[in-house]
Amino acid sequence: MGTGVKCGIGLPNGFPHGEVNPGLCLQVAERAEEDGYDSVWAGDHIVFHIPRLEIFTTLAAVAARTQRVQLGPAVLLLCLRNPIHVAQSVVTLDHLSGGRLILGVGVGGEHPKEFVVSGVAVNQRGPRTDEALEVLRRVWTESTVTFSGKYYRCDELTLLPPPLQRPHPPIWIGGRSAAALRRTVRFGQAWVPAFVTPEKFQERRERLAALCRESGRDPRTVQSALYFFANVNSSRERAWAEAGDFLSKNYKMPAAPFARLAVYGTPAECLAHTCRYIDAGAEHLIVRFASFDPLQQLERWTKDVLPALRAGVRSG
């Protein structure tokens, strides 16, 4: 792209309208690849208030239907799973995709029921995630691993096969908190927040760079990405009407809090808002369409917004 910014698409593997349509998820992935996007991403929940397809199965199907795009979870709730099981699933998907996998990891916490059914206390999600990431990194890079932590243990474990990508698939850390930034410095190759204003994104990105320097890490080794909801339409009012309805049903809450966090409006308005994130330092944009018709939105975004982003055009 002209700006050097990469663009990805968030896949509709959750169904806020209630009708499960796995073919739609695969269609969006295939179309995104055809349209030249760099990556496709599926969301993750164990149990949720809307129907949702399981993350690794979904991504395996996407890997089989695509050839070029990178793919991954945005983001995997790692703390709800045994890290050795995750390690095998990730390695399998890395091989099935031909080395296209990116592992996005987050802590979740907004849906307590899935913590209950997983036997994990919500207040343990941060330390469990950090310990699980340490386990993943070690079993992917060491021939034999013995680990004894607070939450996870293994004794003389050898995980075969190793990842196709060496030393392991890129790890992208989600979240806006100070803990997420520290986690990124320790484990991540990229930071990928969601639901953040351009101003907050820049502020957090600058803090991330400072933490890198404090730890002796070059900030340039950590990419800054962004996951955001968008709706491009004939007017700002029509865009918000559709986006607000979608977000309200998707998250089972009033839409108003999302009004300042989503990108919506005419093509020129969407371009101008997205460019604010680029100016704030976003290097990889992941667009999830706030719409019950993501294929139509993908067509509009690809035709009316993406060319200007690729050309580095500023609008507004």
Tell me the pairing of strands 153-157 and 145-148. Answer: antiparallel
- The whole-angstrom separation of Cα 104 and Cα 122 is 19
The reported pLDDT for the residue numbered 315 is 55
Please indicate, yes or no, if residue 76 is contained in any of the structural domains: yes
Please indicate, yes or no, if residue 112 is contained in any of the structural domains: yes
The reported pLDDT for the residue numbered 278 is 96
Query: Structurally, how many domains does the chain consist of?
Result: 1
Please indicate, yes or no, if residue 1 is contained in any of the structural domains: no
Domain that holds residue 294: 6-311
Residue 257: φ, ψ to 5° = -60, -20
The reported pLDDT for the residue numbered 310 is 85
Please indicate, yes or no, if residue 232 is contained in any of the structural domains: yes
Please indicate, yes or no, if residue 52 is contained in any of the structural domains: yes
pLDDT tens for the chain, 316 residues: list them.
Answer: 346 899 999 999 999 999 999 999 999 999 999 999 999 999 999 999 999 999 999 999 999 999 999 999 999 999 999 999 999 999 999 999 999 999 999 999 889 999 999 999 999 999 999 999 999 999 999 999 999 999 999 999 999 999 999 999 999 999 999 999 999 999 999 999 999 999 999 999 999 999 999 999 999 999 999 999 999 999 999 999 999 999 999 999 999 999 999 999 999 999 999 999 999 999 999 999 999 999 999 999 999 999 999 888 765 4
CATH at 15 = 3.20.20.30
Please indicate, yes or no, if residue 120 is contained in any of the structural domains: yes
Is residue 252 within 8 A of residue 16, CB to CB? The reply is no
Please indicate, yes or no, if residue 316 is contained in any of the structural domains: no
